[in-house]
Chain A
Amino acid sequence: MTIGLVLVIAWGAVAFRLVQVQVVRAEAFADDALSQRLRSVVVPGPRGSIFDRDGDALALSVQGAAVTANPREISNLEETAQVLAAELGVGVDELRAKLAEEGSFVYLQRQLEPAEAAPIQALDLPGIYVLPEPIRVYPQSNLAAHVLGFVGVDHAGLDGLEYKFDEELTGTPGGLEFEVSPGGEQIPSGRFHRVDSQSGRDLVLTIDSQLQYWAEEELAAAVKASGGKAGSVVIMQPTTGAVLALANFPGFDPNQPGTAAPDHLRNRAVTDTYEPGSTAKLITVSAALAEAKVEPTRLFSVKDQIEVEDRKYRDFTPHEEALWDVNRIVGKSSNVGTILIYQQLGDPLLFRYLRAFGLGYPTEVDLPAEESGHLDPVSSWCGPCGASTAIGYRVSVTPLQMTAAFSAVANQGVWRQPYVVERIGDEPTGGRRQQRVLADDVAVVVRTMLGGVITEGTGAAAAVPGYAVGGKTGTTNKYEPELGGYGEDVVASFIGMAPLENPAVVIGVFIDSPSAKRQDTGGSIAAPLFSRIASYALGQLGVAPNA
């Protein structure tokens, strides 16, 4: 009787527990069991690629690899370090230190290309793993590095277009959820759920890789030959504002941005400002012509120096007093002559045209960290400020701003906002600003004057065989904040257009601090560089010779 009772109670307890497990909490237990078997894997959305105008890849995202280690599983630390050091090209000491770390996971090297990871995978070293991870590859290395920028190891854009268009380029991650056995293998008949990842959108640029390459090569050679510190070249299509090439020296390899000096990462063409000097005379003269304050043939008695209030201005080259018309003043790049023209114009009009040509505010090119340059409001100009501004001092610009200003003259007097991204995915970019700054006929007259700079002025070295070209030289002393004034270093520049009659390109060339100081002028080192780049560009763009 007692045994029976005990058995009944025992069976009752078992039955109760059975009901509790199988009925009452069945769902919770099933979920717990499933969660132990389920594994979730995030599948990253590939980052969009970047292509040049011809569809050549400038930046690609592909599946690469990371080499990791579980230090607890490494049996022979010394041998492992030696073998891996040879394969990874890393110091043995560095690897030894990583392999000796506490914990069960350490990255040995990341962002490896498949071909680099394969030999390590083949070694099959205990405790060493090769994990797939997306990598960003810039197959053209240094080419257009300042335009492209670069990404971090997490694939977030850190500079250039990679940063500016990070949202568009970034893909949407998907995921996999599947059941695994206790051994970690996927159970084929188990639960499987997949959410497809979405690729980021590709960017198609206005950049022409071939032009970009030659611009970079020629710029690097010119800066090195002149002993300069740095330089920039901007090539624009004046009719659209498309930037065909934007080169800076020194450059860097976006595949390894960490190895570059911070100074080399700067996109100088949009982040650095300088006083434009004589190239700004284009605006002064254009304004005076547009406002009918002077005629191209009007004669001025030009000495080689002039005093405005308490400030004395000199021409670069001493000369006797002479009767020069506006064409000759521009051709000779006379400071005195330009100030005489400015005096016909006055401060408010000069200021208005400087603004209209895009000075004093950013062009809003689709690149990050663009500087706006500096142009004081006319109300704060001092007595001789207008004269200084008329010859390109007391105003600062970026190389891109100044090239865009010349593009307005090349584009029948219409200023167009520069841009480098032609399409995002399949959608063309648009909504860019444009404004008429000169009448068509005035632009033609100004272009003729710029032609005179080549044929009989300071820019003879900019001539391009077979083409009529025009442009303006500039040689500006650099303002040195440490000195509180102008030092001996100069920025030598030349901005020109070709062919002169109907310009297909506007090219700005800027060389910072050539070693020969004032002996290195825009005419002597920037103009020849323009000539070489323009010669190539016109051929590349299929522009027929016209002279």
Chain B
Amino acid sequence: MTTQPSTVPAPLARPRLRAIAGRRTVTVPSWPIGLVLVIAVFFALVAARTALDASAFELRELRAEINQESAQVAQLQIDVARASTPRRLAEAASALGLGLPEQPVLVLNSPGGKTG
């Protein structure tokens, strides 16, 4: 038995290793994020509060307007009622020279008579 001579691969050339500086991971500290968040929340709250206050003032203005209109309606109600009083009508009639006749003249239709 013959054996073939085994072929031994030639050893690889050992790579020439060199130390390189590893990539440094940038670690961002958490406090700026927190700060930004806090500021954002703060401004959001301020904005919400401002919007709320603004609508409250709007509401107040609307209410004032309603009160003013209601007062006008109330005053008109009173004025209309006063305008139709018999005293006022009598005074207005009197100013025009109208009044109750002292001696009224009556036109009587006799029984069976015709009018028209």
Binding site for B on A (CB under 8 A): 56-57, 60, 62-65, 113-115, 117-118, 132, 137, 139-141, 143, 181, 183, 185-189, 209-210, 212-214, 217, 465-466, 535-536, 545
Contact = CB atoms under 8 A, between A and B. Distances in A.
A115 B77 contact: no
Contacts of A466: 104, 106, 108
B46 to A, nearest CB: 14
B71 A536 contact: no
A366 to B, nearest CB: 23
B55 A113 contact: no
Top 6 A-B pairs, shortest CB-CB distance: A139-B81, A62-B74, A213-B86, A114-B71, A185-B56, A466-B106
A118 B59 CA distance: 21
A209 B52 contact: no
B12 interface: no
Contacts of B104: 465-466, 535
Contacts of B60: 185-186
A143 B82 CA distance: 12
B85 A118 contact: no
B43 interface: no
A230 B108 CA distance: 38
B108 to A, nearest CB: 6
Interface in B50-93: 52-53, 55-57, 59-60, 67, 70-72, 74-75, 77-78, 81-82, 84-87, 90
15 contacts: A56-B81, A56-B85, A63-B71, A139-B81, A140-B86, A140-B87, A143-B85, A143-B87, A185-B57, A188-B55, A188-B56, A189-B52, A466-B106, A535-B104, A545-B106
B18 to A, nearest CB: 47
B59 A60 contact: no
A114 B106 contact: no
Contacts of A141: 85, 87
B100 interface: yes
Contact of B78 (A139, A183, A185): A139
A536 B90 CA distance: 13
A114 B72 CA distance: 7
A60 B86 contact: no
B86 A132 contact: no
B86 A143 contact: yes
Given A143-B87, A210-B86, A137 B78 contact: yes
A139 B77 CA distance: 10
A56 B103 CA distance: 30
B52 A56 contact: no
B87 A186 contact: no
Contacts of A115: 75
B85 A113 contact: no
Q: Size band of the B side of the interface? A: 20 to 34
Contacts of B74: 62-64, 113-114
A65 B72 CA distance: 12
Nearest to B67: A132
A187 B81 contact: no
A372 B53 CA distance: 66
Given A181-B53, A189-B52, A465 B103 contact: yes
Contacts of B85: 56, 139-141, 143, 209, 213
Given A188-B55, A210-B86, A214-B86, 15 more contacts: A64-B74, A113-B78, A137-B78, A139-B81, A139-B85, A140-B81, A141-B85, A143-B86, A181-B56, A185-B53, A185-B59, A185-B60, A186-B59, A188-B56, A213-B86
A252 to B, nearest CB: 15
Nearest to A117: B71
A288 B87 CA distance: 46
Contact of A63 (B52, B70, B90, B108): B70
B28 to A, nearest CB: 27
A118 B71 contact: yes
Given A139-B78, A187-B56, A545 B71 contact: no
A67 to B, nearest CB: 14
A535 B87 CA distance: 18
B107 to A, nearest CB: 9
A303 B74 CA distance: 68
Nearest to B71: A114
Contact of A186 (B56, B90, B103): B56
Interface string B25-60: 000000000000000000000000000110111011
A186 B67 CA distance: 16
B75 A60 contact: no
Contacts of B57: 185
A321 B72 CA distance: 74
Contacts of B86: 140, 143, 209-210, 212-214
Counting chain B CB atoms within 10 Å of each CB, which of A114, A181, A185, A545 scores highest? A114
A117 B82 CA distance: 19
A358 to B, nearest CB: 31
B75 A113 contact: yes
Contacts of A209: 85-86
B56 A545 contact: no
A116 B70 CA distance: 14
B56 A57 contact: no
A391 to B, nearest CB: 35
A536 B99 CA distance: 11
Nearest to B90: A213
B77 to A, nearest CB: 6
A401 to B, nearest CB: 28
Contacts of B72: 114
A183 B49 CA distance: 12
A189 B78 CA distance: 37
